[in-house]
Amino acid sequence: MASEYLIGTDVDDLDRAVDLFGVEPASAPKPGAELVDRSDTGQSWRGYPRTTWLFAGIAVADYADALTALGFTAGQAAGAVVIYTRDEYDTWSYFEAMLRLPDPAGLERWSGVYKNVALEFVLLATTAPTPP
């Protein structure tokens, strides 16, 4: 089955995540940044919704090429992207997002592959491709 996960810098020019990173991600959406306790003994999410794309392993060269294709420069920790992914309701949507990259020093590298890479996207707004 073809990848549903898409990413790019413009909603009308997205690449399949599997083509860009060389492997299909799994996603873990959350409705906010943190779960906080309320005074009525309930809990609420606070902050922007987000999703995390989890990769079991990404080749170091594919990771570097993907970040370059997305316009990231060396040392950049975050940047604006557009993604097509699942939200916390398991609904597929296009989002303008802020991609927060993992700290390079914290990436687990084994024989030319980064293992267990988590890319976090802060979902800022929904968007849609331009109709043909």
90 domain residue, yes or no: yes
Overall number of domains in the chain? 1
Q: Is 29 helix (H, G, I), strand (E, B) or coil?
A: strand
Mind listing the pLDDT tens digit of every residue in the chain (132 residues)? 345 899 999 999 899 999 999 988 988 888 777 777 777 777 777 778 889 999 999 999 999 999 999 999 888 999 999 999 988 888 889 999 999 999 888 899 999 999 999 999 999 999 988 876
Q: Where are the beta strands (DSSP E) in 11-131?
A: 13-16, 26-30, 34-37, 43-46, 50-59, 78-86, 92-100, 108-110, 113-127
115 Rama class: left (phi>0) / alpha (psi -120 to 50) / beta: beta
Distance separating alpha carbons of residues 126 and 57, to the nearest angstrom: 29
Of the candidates 58, 53, 55, 54, the residue with the CA atom closest to the CA atom of residue 109? 58
Instruction: Answer whether 59's CB lies under 8 Å from 112's CB.
Output: yes
78, β-bridge pairs? 100
Could you tell me the residue range of the domain that residue 107 belongs to? 6-33+46-117
Distance separating alpha carbons of residues 66 and 75, to the nearest angstrom: 15
pTM for the model:
0.84
39 domain residue, yes or no: no
Token pair, residue 34, equals: 């943190």
